[in-house]
Structure 1
Amino acid sequence: MQINRKTRNITKYLKHLQPTELYMLGLVVHPGVEARLKNLGFEVPLVPGQRVLAPARKGPASRRNAEGFDIVHRDRPKEIAYRQVVWTWTQFAGRNHTEEKSKVVDVPYQRYPRTHILPYGIELEVKMRADGQIYVLAGPFSNDEFSVAVATNSANMMREALGGFEVLDKELTSWVNAPMRRLHWQLLPPGRNPWESALPALEGVVEHAPAGNRGVLRARLSAVGAKKPDFVAIGLGGFEGYAVFGFARLKLCVLECPQVNNATYVLPMESWERVAQMTKAEILDARAHTARIVHTRRWFDALDSVLSDDRKAA
Structure 2
Amino acid sequence: MRISQSKIHNVDKFLLEFKKDENLYIVLDDIDSYKDRLIQVGFSSLLPTGEKVLPSALFGNVSEFNANGKYEKLRDLPKETYYKTQSATIKAYGKHDVYITKQQPYEKFQVGLTEIAPSIELVILLDDNNEKIVSSDKLVYNENNKNLIKHTINLFLEIFGECVVVDNEFLSRQKTKIKKVSWNILPKGVMPWAKLREPLIDLLDKTAVEDKEDTLRRFEFINSFSPDFVATGNGGFNDYVVFGFEDRNLYVLENSFAGNATYIFNNDWETLSQLSKAEILAEKLQEHRLIHKKYWKRSMKDILK
The TM-score, its normalising length taken from structure 2, stands at: 0.47
**Highest RCO, 1 vs 2 (Cα 8 Å, sep ≥ 6):** 1
Please say which structure displays the higher CA radius of gyration.
2
TM-score (norm. length: structure 1): 0.45
